[in-house]
Amino acid sequence: MYKLSTLFIVFIHLSLFSQVNNQTKPVLKLDKSLKNISVDTIKIGTFDLAMLDTLHVDSLEILAKKVAVVDYKIASEIDKKWMSSWKNSSIDNSTSLIVDMDSLKNIVINDLPTDTLKQRLAYLNSTTPFYLEYNPSLEKIIKHYLKNRKNTLADLMGRAKYYFPLFEEKLAKYNIPMEIKYLAIVESALKPNATSRVGAKGLWQFMYTTGKIYGLNVNSYVDERSDPVKSTEAACKLLSNLYNIFGDWDLALAAYNSGPGNVSKAIRRSGGNRNYWNIRHFLPRETAGYLPAFYATYYIFEYSNQHNLHPKNELSPMFETDTIVVKREITFNQINRILKTDEELLEFLNPQYKMKVIPHVKGKEFTLRLPKFMAGRFVANEDLIYAFAKAEDAVREKPLPKYFESPDKIRYRVRNGDYLGKIARRYGVSVASIKRWNGMRNNNLRVGQRLTIYPRTPVASSGKSNKSSHKTASRKPLPKGKYSIYTVKQGDSLWLIAQKFPTASVDEIKKWNNIWSNKLKPGTKLKIY
């Protein structure tokens, strides 16, 4: 069965590889009004940014909705199954397995008599470097979990299917006991963005300073404490150092939670004892329940079948995802709008990006993690995704020209009958630009008011009067000939109206009707030439 499944997966990968390489990548064609968008002629990377500067975000939304994305049916079906599994998980950031040991009561579980538990713990103790010996306190917490945390543990088992292969790979690399993979369950309930009340973060709950020491960078965009791969590597390095200090894995774990200093104090206060159970009452309260939670989790995962406990909402293992090195700054939102993926999925797989932005910095690599088949879809549409991001960046607000020397700046004096749309058309600029250049919060003008303008259409030199400028500013006359009248309906927009008339664009409709706003009032009569 295993061999057949493996062959099937290899077949799918080869099929997709063939399709990606044999199918022509999509290319984008668009006119200035974005009325017609197709994916067949013009190369993606050759956008005319001068044209894109005139587009609005609304236009890019139209672009995102209309572009065709290469996809493959079999991959799409797998994506749906993959995403439906992790979305059903009921684990939240508040889940903690650490409990107050002294408050636990004796619980009777019929299928786990004390003698059976002793035998099982003795067997586990013989297979691990941890001191997993029976004691009444450990029995209490194991039975507490089985009675009160069964659903949580089932969810954690499902989530572990995703993370444990990664943990095991790193633990083997550093020659660390495999059982330590259960430590991340106690630390964070396998939530990569889990944050403690004192600021520790990630699967392995690194404090900021400790994270920096072990190579985990934190900045405005990225918090590598939440990066599953990098934080696991850092945890292995820290745990190896702690073991070298104490020579005992139980004490190393206690030091991981409370710091080496607290463990040293507990050893002194206990009279020099080095067995965890003998120093437990001299440790901070949380650490006193920390190792028992780890032992109990280890036991329950190892004997889950005997307790009829099975994984819920299983996630695909880490080796069924793939990473892509991004070639430009890109946001989750930009990826989603082109590929029609799920932002929650991107957040789950890439929890290290705090602002849902993947930066691009010279000399550094930042990666995007996706399910394998979705990664194939990204690669097949990579040019299109980057081009869309480039186009969207082009319509962001730019530095205001008024802060730079410019020979093209003019000072315009507002006259009776002027309004922003009229002035904007005269100089070939947008109303929004005039408002930005002059720090205006609304569209109100007063006669005699001075406006700074950076015209696109030719005007007389700035040394001449406004009157001269008005005469020399080029202004397209309204077309002559027949026109039809269109009455604006409820829900209409300029773009929707332009789609109904093959000869009209949004900009032309605005010019023909002497309007500057994109907002339309139902009942308004528009001339369409």
- Give the pLDDT confidence of 256-301 residue by residue, as tens digits: 998 999 999 999 999 999 989 899 889 888 788 888 899 999 999 9
Mean pLDDT of 102-121: 82
Number of domains the chain contains? 4
Q: What is the pLDDT of residues 159-178, one digit of tens each?
A: 899 899 999 999 999 999 99
Beta bridge partners of 37: 30
Q: Is residue 68 part of a domain?
A: yes
Q: Is residue 478 part of a domain?
A: no
Q: What is the pLDDT of residues 344-380, one digit of tens each?
A: 778 888 999 988 899 988 888 899 998 887 888 888 8
315's CB contacts (< 8 A; 6+ apart) are: 85, 86, 89, 158, 159, 161, 162
If asked whether residues 259 and 337 sit together in one domain, one would say no
CA–CA dist 14, 367 (Å, integer): 24
Q: What is the pLDDT of residues 147-156, one digit of tens each?
A: 888 888 998 9
Q: Which of 60-69, 134-143, 222-231, 263-272 has the lowest mean pLDDT?
A: 60-69
If asked whether residues 254 and 116 sit together in one domain, one would say yes
Q: Is residue 162 part of a domain?
A: yes
CA distances from 355 to 57, 230, 331, 364, 439 (A): 20, 19, 9, 18, 29
If asked whether residues 511 and 468 sit together in one domain, one would say no
If asked whether residues 246 and 136 sit together in one domain, one would say yes
pLDDT at 106 over 80: no
Q: Which of 1-5, 93-97, 245-249, 319-323 has the lowest mean pLDDT?
A: 1-5
Q: Which of 225-229, 275-279, 466-470 has the lowest mean pLDDT?
A: 466-470
If asked whether residues 338 and 293 sit together in one domain, one would say no
Task: Select, from the ranges 75-84, 109-118, 261-270, the one with the highest average predicted confidence (pLDDT).
Answer: 261-270
pLDDT value of position 55: 45
If asked whether residues 278 and 405 sit together in one domain, one would say no
pLDDT value of position 242: 94
Coil, helix or strand at residue 484: strand
The mean pLDDT of the chain is: 76
150's CB contacts (< 8 A; 6+ apart) are: 309
Boundary-marking domain end, from 307, 342, 376: 307
Q: What is the pLDDT of residues 425-436, one digit of tens each?
A: 788 777 878 888
pLDDT value of position 235: 96
Judge if pTM exceeds 0.75. Answer: no
pLDDT at 4 over 60: no
Nearest to 510 by CA among 498, 521, 492: 498
Q: Is residue 94 part of a domain?
A: no
- Tokens, residue 390: 């480039």
Q: Which of 45-59, 104-118, 187-201, 477-491 has the lowest mean pLDDT?
A: 45-59
Boundary-marking domain end, from 376, 394, 412: 394
Coil, helix or strand at residue 206: strand
pLDDT value of position 408: 63
If asked whether residues 207 and 301 sit together in one domain, one would say yes
**Do residues 143 and 121 lie in contact, with contact meaning Cβ atoms separated by under 8 Å?**
no
CA–CA dist 311, 304 (Å, integer): 9
Please spell the DSSP secondary structure of 113-134, one letter per residue: -HHHHHHHHHHHHHHSSS----
**Do residues 373 and 78 lie in contact, with contact meaning Cβ atoms separated by under 8 Å?**
yes
Boundary-marking domain end, from 370, 394, 418: 394
If asked whether residues 114 and 249 sit together in one domain, one would say yes
Q: Is residue 95 part of a domain?
A: no
Coil, helix or strand at residue 480: coil
Q: Is residue 479 part of a domain?
A: no
pLDDT value of position 400: 57
Q: What is the pLDDT of residues 368-416, one digit of tens each?
A: 998 887 888 888 888 888 888 888 777 665 555 544 444 567 889 898 8
If asked whether residues 468 and 492 sit together in one domain, one would say no
Q: What is the pLDDT of residues 22-65, one digit of tens each?
A: 444 334 444 444 444 433 333 333 444 344 444 444 555 555 55
pLDDT value of position 250: 94
Q: What residue has token string 């001075």? A: 450
pLDDT at 95 over 70: no
357's CB contacts (< 8 A; 6+ apart) are: 221, 329, 330, 331, 332
**Which helix (H) or strand (E) covers residue 357, if one does?**
strand 357-358
pLDDT value of position 443: 83
Which amino acid is it at 230?
Answer: K
CA–CA dist 260, 450 (Å, integer): 69
pLDDT value of position 80: 52
Range of the domain at 446: 401-472
Percentage of the residues of the chain whose pLDDT score is greater than 90: 28
- The better pLDDT of the pair 527, 429 is held by 527
If asked whether residues 283 and 376 sit together in one domain, one would say no
Mean pLDDT of 81-86: 49
If asked whether residues 194 and 53 sit together in one domain, one would say no
Q: Which of 16-20, 127-131, 441-445 has the lowest mean pLDDT?
A: 16-20
Other CB atoms within 10 Å distance of the CB of residue 272? 9
Q: What is the pLDDT of residues 306-330, one digit of tens each?
A: 999 998 877 766 657 889 999 999 9
CA quadruple 499, 502, 505, 508: dihedral sign = negative
CATH number at residue 218: 1.10.530.10
- Tokens, residue 94: 């508040």
- Tokens, residue 389: 């991001």
Q: Is residue 173 part of a domain?
A: yes
CA–CA dist 317, 321 (Å, integer): 8
CATH number at residue 523: 3.10.350.10
CA quadruple 44, 46, 52, 53: dihedral sign = positive
- Tokens, residue 286: 């949380």
Q: Is residue 288 part of a domain?
A: yes
Mean pLDDT of 222-248: 95
Mean pLDDT of 471-480: 52
If asked whether residues 390 and 426 sit together in one domain, one would say no
**Do residues 321 and 369 lie in contact, with contact meaning Cβ atoms separated by under 8 Å?**
yes
Nearest to 429 by CA among 401, 455, 410: 455
329's CB contacts (< 8 A; 6+ apart) are: 357, 358, 359, 360, 389
**Do residues 157 and 304 lie in contact, with contact meaning Cβ atoms separated by under 8 Å?**
yes
